[in-house]
Amino acid sequence: MASNKDRIMEAAMDLFHDHGFQGTGLEDILTSSGVCKSNFYYHFKSKEELGLKVIERKVQEMRQSVMEPSLGNAQLSPKQRVLALFERMLAFCEEHECRRGCFFGNLALELSDSSEELRKPLSRFFRELEAEVESCLQEGKRQGELLLQGLTPVELATPIVSLLQGGMLLTKTHKDTRALRDSIKVLTVCMG
């Protein structure tokens, strides 16, 4: 059986993903988790502290379920690894009927100007993702697998993460995976 802290975290992760951080009230979290207010404050000083812990946990989940099996999978070629990242996110979008979008992208759009404390771990996550993509691109360039259209891995890593985020945003907005599928086609051309 999950602890009260875990129940709060799980409820908050789902609610923040579906309704945003600011669109989720403490009462929503308490109702969804089945935990009383005093128990919430036993584990968390504030909703913002809970937000930090939720982001930390989601980063760990993202590493394990998406980044390691794609970007970190040494059995795939560098090009296949980067494509696998996009394909995993496409599968996520399809699984959720294009409804949820990227947890990190959603929160970054919502919180980057309103909470410096929550913006920082989101920024660190995206920097980590960019570094992982860059590492794959560097390896692919060294091996001669990737041409990168004359760009360096450093120059292309951030635009690739932007392409993924933009594709996910438009997939959520249009309720259609075409934008993310088209992003995969563009990615293939960019990597060469």
Residues 164-185, mean pLDDT to the nearest whole number: 97
For residue 45, how many other CB atoms are within 10 A of its CB? 9
Residue partners of 39: CB distance under 8 A and separation at least 6: 4, 8
Indicate if the alpha-carbon torsion angle 60, 66, 71, 76 is positive or negative. positive
pLDDT tens-digit map of 47-90: 999 999 999 999 999 999 999 999 999 999 999 999 999 999 99
Burial of 1 (0-12, 13-18, 19+ CB in 10 A): exposed
- Nearest residue to 85 via CA among 106, 101, 62: 62
Query: pTM of the full predicted structure?
Result: 0.94
pLDDT tens-digit map of 7-54: 999 999 999 999 999 999 999 999 999 999 999 999 999 999 999 999
Q: How far apart are CA 163 and CA 159, in angstroms?
A: 6
- pLDDT at 183 (0 to 100): 97
Answer yes or no: are the C-beta atoms of 157 and 187 closer than 8 Å.
Answer: no
